């Protein structure tokens, strides 16, 4: 019978089913010799099931109820954190409009390095981040990170030259290094694979909100007249103090995991982890496994994620840092530049959420990623071919706004990687590899643009155009490899007496537990969901395109 149907059995049979999650040397639990309760080595979800003595029945109704509770608690916090992170990183581009380049005497590549240094720091710290995310509760980690980077941003108020600004930006990068990897871990921990694209895209869409409202806030702050602070210093101080205050909100309200969440009662906790069973990815384990590390580095798709993220992050890093300066080159004043950057964020927001919806409907991310590359290609060509002056302001702005579709690609790569990786340590290491690619791209991206190349920025735009084309090729190659892995797992299932073809329930809507399905072979009664197996080790894992 199906795993969902098994959950509708009487409690005694459910307890017997829990006891089957033990047999192999890779198993997450074992019996002690004296017959005491199992000493769990694997996923914490298994501990909760063992303590309760049974699993629970997942229905469309209780699934919707628990999902609503999870969304209402997690999403406001995640959206707030990511909004502040992107806003705080963007303060340097707002400051460029209000004279920081001249007042801090920045020249050559110095402004570019202020944009790139934050990602260089994040790149260097990714190995430590991967380890810490396995060992440290996620809620506490996010609160501490937010507090520290808020302090770093506030300190930029006192920086008056390149060296001081660079030091503050490096610390900002160090303390922000774990935010995106932690968010991916949160999404894997709380949401079914069907739900992940929209949730990942929702917090990443804060980039668009920042470009809209951040520009408006910076526009207002830039009009404050002070005898003590320059306008860009007011921007640094204001956003830094807001971030420090929000850290307290995270500490109080952000749960560490479904197993320990105080806003869920015991039955809701069982439902929360039962929702994750079909993912075949586990929920939480604080055991660092070196065999998972080895597998992550040997797995070709880890390097596909790296290459995909690098390819999109080079244009992202360049355009994020130089976007306001590109608009200013169209013949606009500094205040008009801030206002005309707002539609960039609106297009970005619509593209990010629209592509997530499309990926959910298609149950595929690769084709959507390839589709999203086409508008930026057209936009780059427009900016390269049209003369940069006030007379061509309309077509130039249109080309710039078309390019702004590209941010929708990044969260789809996040969710594509998140949905195709299992094993607690392997998930964190793979995310680290992916994020190293993102940081490396963001380091290189701003340095392909220089203030000396204004107003055309030809080298930067040409490199962006080439990489959007490369993204399409990489997407096709990755889909081919995932197809190969699914075929390989089909052969393994047949070899152990299971059905070759399985329905990936994690990509389906929750069904009524008693719906009619053919019984599975007896061997398939052994559930791999909570054994902390990697996607390579678990023959029941189904890769998604």
Summarised one tens digit per residue, pLDDT across range 400-458 is 999 989 999 999 999 999 999 999 899 999 999 999 999 899 888 877 887 778 788 88
CA distance 62 to 68: 10
Which domains, ranges and CATH numbers included, belong to the chain? 60-263+292-485 (1.20.1250.20)
Q: Quick one: pLDDT band at residue 209, thresholds 50, 70, 90?
A: confident
Question: H-type helices in 98-178, by residue range?
Answer: 100-103, 110-135, 138-155, 162-176
For residues 65-84, average pLDDT: 96
Q: What's the confidence (pLDDT) of residue 116? A: 78
Indicate the angle between helix axes 196-204 and 409-419, nearest 10 degrees: 140
DSSP 288: -
| pLDDT > 90 in the chain, percent | 53
For residues 319-342, average pLDDT: 78
Q: What's the confidence (pLDDT) of residue 512? A: 57
Contact 424, 134 (CB under 8 A): yes
For residue 514, pLDDT beyond 70: no
For residues 187-205, average pLDDT: 92
Least confident residue range of 191-200, 500-509, 526-535? 526-535
Handedness of CA 304, 310, 316, 319 (dihedral sign): negative
Contact 284, 414 (CB under 8 A): no
Could you read off the pLDDT of 463-485 as tens digits, one per residue?
A: 999 999 999 999 999 999 999 99
Handedness of CA 460, 463, 469, 474 (dihedral sign): negative
Q: What's the confidence (pLDDT) of residue 490? A: 94
For residue 8, pLDDT beyond 70: no
Q: What's the confidence (pLDDT) of residue 280? A: 78
CA distance 195 to 357: 10
Tell which wins on pLDDT, 526 or 468: 468
For residue 33, pLDDT beyond 60: no
Query: Is the omega angle on the peptide bond into residue 455 within 30 degrees of 0, that is, cis?
Result: yes
Mean pLDDT of the chain: 84
Question: H-type helices in 177-275, by residue range?
Answer: 179-190, 196-204, 206-209, 215-221, 231-253, 266-274
Q: What's the confidence (pLDDT) of residue 268? A: 92
For residues 326-354, average pLDDT: 83
CA distance 327 to 71: 37
Q: What's the confidence (pLDDT) of residue 120? A: 86
Which of 132-151 are b and which e, b meaning 16 or more Cβ less than 10 Å from the residue's Cβ?
Answer: bbbebbbbebbbbbbbbbbb
Q: Quick one: pLDDT band at residue 527, thresholds 50, 70, 90?
A: low
Contact 101, 324 (CB under 8 A): no
Could you read off the pLDDT of 219-256 as tens digits, one per residue?
A: 788 888 888 888 889 999 999 999 999 999 999 999 99
Contact 269, 45 (CB under 8 A): no
CA distance 182 to 197: 16
For residues 123-131, average pLDDT: 93
| pLDDT > 70 in the chain, percent | 88
Could you read off the pLDDT of 490-505 as tens digits, one per residue?
A: 999 999 888 888 887 7
For residue 4, pLDDT beyond 70: no
Handedness of CA 240, 245, 249, 251 (dihedral sign): positive
Tally of CA atoms within 13 A in the half-sphere of 482 that contains its CB: 23
Nearest to 374, CA basis, from 465, 477, 474, 476: 465
Nearest to 48, CA basis, from 278, 277, 292: 277
Indicate the angle between helix axes 60-97 and 138-155, nearest 10 degrees: 10
Per DSSP, the residues of 209-228 read HIIIIIHHHHHHHTT---SS
For residue 487, pLDDT beyond 70: yes
Contact 343, 403 (CB under 8 A): no
For residue 11, pLDDT beyond 60: no
CA distance 435 to 424: 17
Tell which wins on pLDDT, 91 or 5: 91
Q: Quick one: pLDDT band at residue 197, thresholds 50, 70, 90?
A: very high
Nearest to 418, CA basis, from 435, 433, 406, 430: 430
For residue 171, pLDDT beyond 80: yes
Handedness of CA 253, 255, 258, 264 (dihedral sign): negative
Contact 293, 419 (CB under 8 A): no
For residue 315, pLDDT beyond 90: yes
Least confident residue range of 120-129, 347-356, 496-505? 496-505
Tell which wins on pLDDT, 51 or 129: 129
């Amino acid at each position: 019978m199906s795993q969902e149907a098994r959950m509708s059995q009487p409690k005694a049979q459910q307890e017997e089913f829990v006891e089957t999650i033990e047999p192999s040397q890779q198993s997450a639990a074992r019996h002690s010799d004296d017959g005491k309760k199992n000493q769990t080595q694997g996923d914490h979800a298994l501990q909760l099931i063992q303590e309760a003595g049974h699993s629970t029945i997942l229905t469309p109704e209780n699934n919707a109820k628990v999902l609503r509770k999870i969304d209402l608690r997690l999403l406001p916090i995640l959206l707030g954190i990511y909004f502040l992170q992107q806003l705080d990183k963007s303060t340097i581009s707002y400051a460029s409009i209000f004279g920081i380049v001249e007042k801090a005497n920045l020249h050559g590549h110095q402004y570019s390095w202020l944009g790139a240094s934050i990602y260089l720091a994040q790149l260097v710290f990714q190995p430590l981040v991967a380890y810490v995310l396995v060992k440290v509760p996620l809620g506490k980690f996010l609160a501490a990170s937010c507090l520290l980077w808020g302090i770093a941003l506030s300190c930029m108020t006192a920086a008056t030259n390149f060296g001081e600004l660079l030091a503050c930006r490096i610390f900002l990068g160090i303390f922000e290094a774990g935010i995106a990897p932690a968010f991916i871990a949160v999404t894997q921990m709380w949401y079914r694979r069907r739900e992940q694209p929209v949730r990942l895209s929702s917090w990443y869409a804060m980039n668009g909100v920042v470009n809209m409202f951040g520009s408006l806030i910076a526009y207002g702050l830039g009009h404050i007249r002070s005898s003590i602070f320059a306008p860009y210093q007011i921007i640094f101080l204001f956003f830094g103090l807001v971030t420090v205050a929000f850290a307290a909100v995270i500490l109080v309200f952000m749960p560490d995991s479904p197993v320990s969440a105080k806003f869920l009662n015991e039955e809701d906790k069982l439902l929360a982890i039962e929702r994750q069973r079909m993912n075949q990815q586990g929920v939480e384990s604080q055991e660092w496994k070196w065999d998972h590390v080895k597998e992550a580095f040997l797995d070709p798709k880890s390097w596909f994620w790296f290459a995909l993220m690098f390819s999109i992050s080079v244009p992202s890093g360049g355009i994020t840092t130089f976007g306001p300066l590109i608009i200013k080159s169209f013949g606009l004043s500094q205040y008009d530049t801030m206002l005309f950057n707002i539609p960039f964020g609106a297009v970005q927001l619509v593209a990010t959420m629209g592509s997530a919806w499309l990926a959910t409907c298609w149950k595929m991310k690769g084709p959507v990623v390839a589709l999203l590359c086409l508008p930026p290609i057209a936009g780059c060509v427009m900016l390269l071919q049209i003369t940069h002056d006030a007379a061509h302001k309309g077509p130039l702005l249109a080309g710039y706004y078309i390019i702004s579709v590209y941010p929708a690609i990044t969260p789809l790569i996040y969710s594509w990687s998140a949905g195709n990786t299992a094993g607690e340590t392997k998930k964190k290491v793979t995310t680290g590899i992916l994020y190293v690619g993102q940081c490396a791209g963001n380091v290189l991206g701003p340095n392909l643009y220089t203030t000396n190349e204004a107003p055309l920025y030809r080298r930067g735009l040409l490199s962006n155009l080439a990489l959007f084309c490369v993204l399409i090729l990489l997407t096709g190659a990755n889909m081919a490899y995932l197809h190969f892995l699914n075929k390989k797992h089909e052969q393994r299932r047949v070899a152990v007496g299971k059905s070759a073809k399985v329905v990936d329930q994690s990509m389906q809507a929750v069904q009524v537990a008693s719906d009619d399905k053919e019984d599975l072979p007896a061997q398939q009664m052994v559930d791999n969901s909570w054994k902390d197996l990697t996607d390579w080790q678990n023959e029941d894992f189904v890769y998604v395109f």
